[in-house]
Amino acid sequence: MLRGVLCRTEPRVLSMRCLSSAGAGSGSGGPASAERAAPGVTPLRPRPNALTDEIIRVDHAGELGADRIYAGQMAILGNGPLGKTIGHMWEQEKEHRKQFEQLIQQHRVRPTIMTPLWNVAGFVLGAGTALMGEKAAMACTVAVETVIVEHYNDQLRQIMEAPNPDKELLETITKFRDEEQEHHDTGIDHGAEQAPFYQAMTEVIKFGCKTAIAISKKI
Ligand SMILES: [Fe+2]
Ligand SMILES: [Fe+2]
């Protein structure tokens, strides 16, 4: 059931239906351990396996970068016609970042040593493309979210194929993947593809994101 046809036919079809067949097993603790924590104290979980460790580190870095990209866009375009739209996406990214901050603490995962660089690079990317105009900002969003959706789908497949899938992590990543897909679609709806040098710009940004992901997995 875990590897049901629905879950494998098409990457973007990975959904909660897949999760429902993934079983209640958690490779790294689970809600039960959280329930025993004292009020106001972040509950610790058992040390994660290598896959979970890598996933939490790289996703924490990615959501930090996304938060900073939207912060950069808001700094330039926050008072314009797209301010509300970008602000909504930023709020979701802040929530993604918050949840991975929590996971990194609970599982005692070492953050990537590149954190300070991604912090600055994210803001510069968001603000820099926003300075080129609203459509360029949306092109940046499309490029980043394309890579992130693919990245999250890869992780969902890896988790589901693991011997003891972490259902909590599956649910978290599935929800975030769906929201990143919405961000991508918002970018398209707001004229990303009409941005000057759309193809070249998005290819460069995608390459940068993939490189950042590869680095953050390991160091
Ligand atoms: Fe996100
Ligand atoms: Fe996003």
- Tell me the per-residue pLDDT of 151-182, one tens digit each, with 9 for 90 and over: 999 999 999 999 888 999 999 999 999 999 99
pLDDT for the residue 32: 42
- pTM of the complete model beyond 0.85: no
pLDDT tens string 116-146 = 888 999 999 999 999 999 999 999 999 999 9
- CA-based radius of gyration for the chain: 18
| CA distance linking residue 219 with residue 217, whole number of Å | 6
For the chain, which residues make up each domain, given as ranges? 47-218
Cα dihedral value 24, 154, 174, 64, nearest 10:
120
Ligand nearest to the CA of 141: 2
Q: How far does residue 1's CA lie from ligand 2's centre (Å)?
A: 30
CA of 165 to the centre of ligand 1 (A): 22
Q: How far is the CA of 101 from the centre of ligand 1 (A)?
A: 12
Longest dimension (CA), the chain: 54
Which residue reads 């940004």 in tokens? 205
Reported confidence tier of residue 39, pLDDT bands at 50, 70, 90 = low
How many angstroms does the Cα of residue 188 sit away from the middle of ligand 2? Answer: 13
pLDDT band at 114 (very low <50, low <70, confident <90, very high): confident
pLDDT value of residue 44: 67
Instruction: State both tokens at 146.
Output: 């394309």
User: What is the whole-number distance in angstroms between the Cα of residue 176 and the centre of ligand 1?
Assistant: 6
CATH of range 47-218; options 3.30.70, 1.20.910, 1.10.3470, 1.10.10? 1.20.910
